Amino acid sequence: MIGVVVALKTQSDFAADRLKTISEVIDKRPVIPAVLLKLMARGAAYYHHPLGEVIFTGLPKRLREGAALDAQAVAIWTAASSADPSETLKRAPKQLAVLHLLQSVPNGLAATEISDSIPAPHDALGALHRKGLVQQNYRQPAAAIRPTHTADTPPTLSNEQQAAVEQLLPGQTSFGVNLLDGVTGSGKTEVYLNLVAPIIEQGRQVLLLVPEISLTPQLVARFSARFPQGVVSYHSGLNETEKLTVWRQTANGEISIVLGTRSALFLPLPKLGYIIIDEEHDPSLKQGEGFRYHARDLAILRGQIENIPVLLGSATPSLETLANVARGRFGCVHLTHRAGNARPPTLHLVDLKRQNLLGGLSQTLIDKMQEHLGQQHQVLLFLNRRGYAPAMLCHECGFLIDCPRCDAHMTWHATLNALHCHHCGHASRPPRSCPDCGKAALQPVGAGTQKIEDVIHACFPDCSVIRIDRDSMRRKHALDDALQAIRDGKHQIIIGTQMLAKGHDFPNITLVGMIDVDQGLFSSDFHAAERVAQQVMQVSGRAGRGEHAGEVVIQTMQPEHPLLQTLLQHDYSAITNSLLSERELGLWPPYRHIALFRASAHVAADAQTCLNDILELAEALDMDDLELLGPAPAPLERRAGRFRYQLLLRSSSRSVLHRALNQLTPAIGKLKSARKARWSLDVDPVDLS
């Protein structure tokens, strides 16, 4: 068992026979620096999650398994010859066993590896070494990871960029949070580069967090072109050895800039001087399971603990952040124009109710595509629904094929000739006839990205089309390669899901078609409207980032919807102002603080009972200003065969909410019903599904 010592005690609450001795101290200096441990402890308290799990969420796997922080050259033993040693060693069975083992492994083994099969091999190895039967070599620790780069010439900053840099630079000596609110293509990255330059010059370190791993390669290229010394990325795409190497390098201060996804927040950075959260509005900055932390919020906490500045960047800031700006807690700097000569794109709404559709595409969109392709530009079609068709319908009786384990329809995947459930992964062959009425009238309805790809091939046979979604990008590096191919102009038409919605810079895309924006307009989650607005702004931000003007075609059944009408004016702040008043009226964050208990079980009653018991505990607290909503079924009530329910806690005071949770969580651990269901707590949930 590997453990982390976080404090020493001279007495124990446990009986002596329940205590274990420490068999080996792995590290000579703390693996987790004091400030980081403080961050983890405060995070554990805020999210009401066990500290041990929080620490293990932060540590790379190799360290959790017992690798030492300081990489040492490891002695590797190899057999000196392959001659049969049975005769010479017949009186030394252990030495014989060790030598046999080494003869079977040409590259040799470390003593710890030998001890996996032969306990305590050290004496035997020593004896074999004296007899000249084995040799000892040293394996060097893994080499540092250094990306290749080509130096760039910094562009002259626009007036707005210059003003932003000048406004932010003076605050860089101590803690403070600022928002860089800059429209898509306004050159936020260039501002980041200018802000971190003096930090790097002082020999300090910079941490830049992004929501998506696909955004790191482009950023790494831009940062290493400006700062050739020590830029690394840290994300789930690295293998475990690479993660350990980055951890060691950052701990030793060898790295100046780390670009990473949310787990990079827990890297030891002894000389940390600046934290940037790019795309701060993105919900994927929040971890969805286990330790459900929001990387933006914990990054701000880290900035506070380390007394260093934190910069949030976005073209579509979250309502929470905007409220913090309005309350004067965060500073704010705007970039309202696109960098270089790029102009904002023009938006068009297409009313699908009055159109003849060709496989989901309106004639207006097809005409626009023809026009832009004719000018040798690229076109991006956005649809956040993978697969061929989102449902299989019987045209005789109206029966829809559902997942047997979820309250959801099965998605039809034409290439695999299979039905897949996108909620639990269940797969089946499509039946030949309707399971309900028996007629052979089953047909796919609606359009997913695969169907759009088919339609596009038929309409534009001379264009190269690439589809980017989770199905087509399974291979490692597939996405990096595809993004590069798009930038190189190898494809004229790009069909993509949210994988392509954010952050990417494709200068030659001038037309973006949003095939169906209606999915989010009528969701029960109070976050939905904000997400739709952000998605439309972000996706349309992919159009016209180069010198040619961009256009966006938005297809909808609800052209009169106020949200879409405001978006048409390209006025994000008008939308957020009205969404903020809705949140205030609806008593939702950022005007209230919420926490969500979820419970699931194979038997619905088990999950309900668990939450009813939690409700009873919460009612017994008898606290003012604590609202209890539920338990109620989750929007997808049954998923992968489990029934899911939720109980929401709401308060206008953060401290009241946390006082309640502090009392509740230990008590829930003692509930019998909590053992019959799987339950979890989500503080500041970003989605209520």
Task: Give min distance, CB of 639 to Zn ion, in A.
Answer: 7
CB atoms within 10 A of CB 350: 20
Considering the rule CB under 5 A, would residue 418 count as an interface residue with Zn ion?
no
**Minimum CB separation from ligand ADP for residue 464, in Å?**
23
> 505, 518, 525, 582: which one contacts ligand ADP (CB under 6 A)?
505
**344 is a site residue for ligand ADP (CB under 6 A):** no
55 or 276: CB nearest ligand ADP: 276
Residue 152 near ligand ADP by CB under 6 A: no
CA distances to 330, 479, 510, 553, 568 from 347, in Å: 31, 28, 12, 6, 6
What type of residue sits at position 400?
A: L
User: For residues 149 and 678, which CB has a smaller minimum distance to Zn ion in the complex?
Assistant: 678
Report the relative pairing of strands 391-394 and 442-445 from DSSP bridges. Answer: antiparallel
Q: Does 155 bind ligand ADP (CB under 6 A)?
A: yes
User: Which partner from the list ligand ADP, Zn ion, none does 505 bind, CB cut-off 5 to 8 Å by kind?
Assistant: ligand ADP
- Nearest-angstrom CA–CA distance, 485 and 472: 15
Q: In what order do the strands lie in the sheet with 642-651?
A: 627-639, 642-651, 593-601, 678-683
Task: Give whichever of 182 and 387 is closer to ligand ADP, judged by the CB atom.
Answer: 182
3-state secondary structure 507-549: CCEEEEEECCCHHHCCCCCCCHHHHHHHHHHHHHCCCCCCCCC
263 in contact with ligand ADP (CB under 6 A): no
Residue 688 binding Zn ion, by CB under 5 A: no
Q: Considering the rule CB under 6 A, would residue 224 count as an interface residue with ligand ADP?
A: no
**Between 60 and 187, CB nearer to ligand ADP:** 187
Structure token pair of residue 495 = 């069909």
Q: Judged by CB under 5 A, does residue 401 bind Zn ion?
A: no
Q: How many residues bind ligand ADP (CB under 6 A)?
A: 17
- What single-letter DSSP state applies at residue 677? S
- Any contact of residue 410 with Zn ion (CB under 5 A)? no
502 within 8 A of 211, measured Cβ to Cβ: yes
Q: Among Zn ion, ligand ADP, none, what binds residue 292 when CB lies within 5 to 8 Å by partner kind?
A: none
Q: Contacting Zn ion (CB under 5 A), which of 258, 424, 455, 482?
A: 424
Nearest 5°: phi and psi at 500? -105, 0
Find the radius of gyration of the CA atoms of the chain.
29
Among candidate residues 680, 618, 674, the one with its CA nearest the CA of residue 650: 618
Binding mask 177-196 for ligand ADP (x = CB under 6 A): -----x-xxxxxxx------
37 contributes a contact to Zn ion by CB under 5 A: no
Other beta carbons within 10 Å of 72: 9
Would you give the binding string for ligand ADP spanning residues 527-546, x where CB under 6 A is met? ------------------x-
How far is it, in rounded angstroms, from Cα 402 to Cα 405? 9
Of the candidate residues 158, 205, 362, 384, the single one contacting ligand ADP (CB under 6 A) = 158
Residue 97, phi then psi, degrees to nearest 5? -65, -45
Of the residues 95, 161, 263, 600, which one makes contact with ligand ADP according to CB under 6 A: 161
Cα 275 to Cα 19, 26, 89, 258, 330: the distances in Å are: 41, 31, 61, 10, 14
> Could you say which of 406, 532, 567, 601 contacts Zn ion (CB under 5 A)?
406
Give yes or no for residue 214 binding ligand ADP (CB under 6 A): no
Q: By C-beta, is 380 or 607 nearer to Zn ion?
A: 607
- Interaction residues for ligand ADP, span 396-425 (CB under 6 A): none
**Can you tell me which of 195, 295, 421, 664 binds Zn ion, judged by CB under 5 A?**
421
Pair 676, 640: CB distance under 8 Å: no
Rounded Cα–Cα distance for residues 309 and 175 (Å): 4
C-alpha distances in Å from residue 672, one per residue of 362, 523, 643, 668: 57, 34, 18, 9
Query: What, of ligand ADP, Zn ion, none, does residue 540 touch, CB below 5 to 8 Å by kind?
Result: none
Q: Is 231 in the site for ligand ADP (CB under 6 A)?
A: no
Nearest residue (CB) to ligand ADP, 12 versus 156: 156
| CB-CB contact of 169 with 318 (8 Å) | no
Q: Which does 668 bind (CB under 5 to 8 A by kind): ligand ADP, Zn ion, none?
A: none
- Which residues contribute to the site for ligand ADP (CB under 6 A)? 155-158, 161, 182, 184-190, 339-340, 505, 545
